[in-house]
């Protein structure tokens, strides 16, 4: 497990810190609802970098809220309100407490990343057989559900088969997770394509609406108890691969609206970092920070049509 080097979460009046991940800090409010805060942290190769990307947390939050609105008729989501304490205004949401399913729900419409590695090794991705001759960036005939395990913080998620999901959560839940994942992808892929962006793949997380904590108020409704709900973030550059549609060329690495700029720099001779060293990557140069921020802003503005 990598040493994540996550900084101490800020103190927020009226909220109790529960957990910090690579990017988000989670708190519980007196109502029993949760406060999810997106920081400006950035992680690569399971390391949280010392350098932050200005405005990244706000961009992720605003983009997720926009997508939740676009998907409202497809699936319920966990958001109750974006009215949050001033110290985290713009980069946090109040959300329902969910019992999260232990599955990373991934939809792929294009072949790349870990899916490409699996395909080259076996001709399959998560047990789904694909036709021969596909390349990096190839569009699939139909989007596929390629789940992964939820790894412990600092470990890698591991691609698994649909049968493994059935064994974990049962057939009815597995079927619904697959159905909703592909429905969300289909809607989002069409929306992005209209705006000149390819949604190559995306990772979603679902949960069931939990019973209110004893001794607290129920909070606002974001679904009925037991209903399957879309949680966490959705369709951001951190959870999805977005490519410029006019630059798509299968057989090569696609330019993307995400932190690939940071990964590329870290792996370059310029950084002086050895991925196999077991040491965290060095701080990012200002130029890499600026280009990364600009890429996140560009993705937000192209997708939503709003100025950041």
The H or E element that residue 222 is part of is none
204, 105 in Cβ contact below 8 A?
yes
* The domain made up of 99-246 is a member of CATH 3.30.470.20: yes
Q: Which residues are CB-neighbours of 291 under 8 A, at least 6 positions away?
A: 261
Q: What is the pLDDT of residues 158-173, one digit of tens each?
A: 899 999 999 999 999 9
For the chain, where do the domains classified as CATH 3.30.200.20 start and end? 15-97
pLDDT at 86 over 70: yes
Provide φ and ψ at 231, rounded to 5°.
-125, -170
pLDDT at 2 over 80: no
Fold of 15-97: Phosphorylase Kinase; domain 1 (3.30.200)
Beta-bridge partner residues of 197 = 244
pLDDT at 233 over 90: yes
pLDDT at 10 over 80: yes
Q: What is the pLDDT of residues 186-220, one digit of tens each?
A: 999 999 999 999 999 999 999 998 765 444 344 44
pLDDT at 225 over 80: no
Q: Locate 19 and state its tokens.
A: 């957990």
Instruction: Give me the chain's average pLDDT, please.
Output: 91
> Rounded CA gap, 151 and 45, in Å?
14
Q: Which residues are CB-neighbours of 8 under 8 A, at least 6 positions away?
A: none
Q: What is the pLDDT of residues 243-270, one digit of tens each?
A: 999 999 999 989 999 888 999 999 999 9
Q: What is the pLDDT of residues 26-56, one digit of tens each?
A: 999 999 999 999 999 999 988 999 999 999 9
Q: Which residue has the higher pLDDT, 62 or 6?
A: 62
For the chain, where do the domains classified as CATH 3.30.470.20 start and end? 99-246
Determine the pLDDT at residue 214. Answer: 43
> Rounded CA gap, 288 and 293, in Å?
9
Determine the pLDDT at residue 4. Answer: 63
Average pLDDT over every residue of 126-145: 97
Percent of the chain, pLDDT > 70?
Answer: 91
> Rounded CA gap, 193 and 164, in Å?
32
Determine the pLDDT at residue 9. Answer: 87
Q: Position of tokens 């049962």?
A: 170
Task: Select from 231, 227, 202, 206 the least CA-distant residue to 36.
Answer: 231
Distance of CA 4 to the CA centre of its chain: 18
> Rounded CA gap, 180 and 225, in Å?
18
DSSP string, 82-133: S---GGGTTSEEEE--EEE-SEEEEEEEE--HHHHHHHHHHSEETTEE--TT
Beta-bridge partner residues of 26 = 19, 36
* Residue 163 backbone zone (phi > 0: left; psi -120 to 50: alpha; other: beta): alpha
> Rounded CA gap, 298 and 308, in Å?
9
Determine the pLDDT at residue 227. Answer: 85
């Amino acid at each position: 497990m990598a040493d994540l080097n996550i900084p101490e979460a800020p103190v927020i009046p009226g909220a109790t810190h529960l957990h910090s991940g690579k990017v988000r800090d989670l708190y519980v409010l007196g109502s029993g609802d949760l406060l999810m805060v997106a920081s400006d942290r950035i992680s690569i190769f399971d390391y949280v970098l010392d350098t932050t990307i200005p405005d990244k947390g706000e961009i992720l939050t605003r983009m997720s809220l926009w997508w939740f609105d676009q998907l409202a008729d497809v699936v319920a989501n966990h958001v109750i309100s974006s009215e949050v304490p001033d110290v985290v205004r713009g980069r946090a949401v109040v959300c329902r407490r969910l019992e999260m399913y232990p599955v990373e729900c991934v939809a792929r419409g294009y072949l790349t990343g870990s899916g490409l590695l699996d395909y080259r090794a076996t001709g399959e991705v998560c047990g789904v057989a694909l036709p021969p001759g596909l390349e990096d960036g190839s569009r699939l005939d139909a989007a596929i559900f390629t789940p992964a395990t939820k790894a412990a913080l600092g470990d890698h998620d591991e691609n698994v088969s649909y049968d493994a999901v059935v064994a974990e959560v049962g057939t009815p839940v597995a079927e619904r997770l697959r159905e909703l994942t592909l429905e969300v992808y289909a809607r989002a892929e069409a929306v992005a394509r209209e705006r000149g962006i390819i949604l190559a793949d995306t990772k979603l997380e679902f949960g069931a609406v939990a019973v209110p904590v004893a001794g607290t108020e129920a909070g606002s409704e974001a679904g009925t108890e037991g209903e399957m709900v879309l949680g966490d973030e959705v369709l951001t550059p951190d959870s999805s691969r977005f490519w410029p549609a006019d630059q798509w060329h299968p057989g090569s690495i696609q330019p993307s609206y995400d932190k690939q700029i940071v990964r590329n720099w870290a792996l370059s001779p310029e950084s002086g970092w050895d991925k196999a060293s077991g040491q965290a990557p060095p701080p990012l140069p200002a130029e890499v920070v600026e280009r990364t921020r600009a890429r996140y802003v560009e993705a937000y503005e192209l997708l939503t049509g709003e100025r950041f």
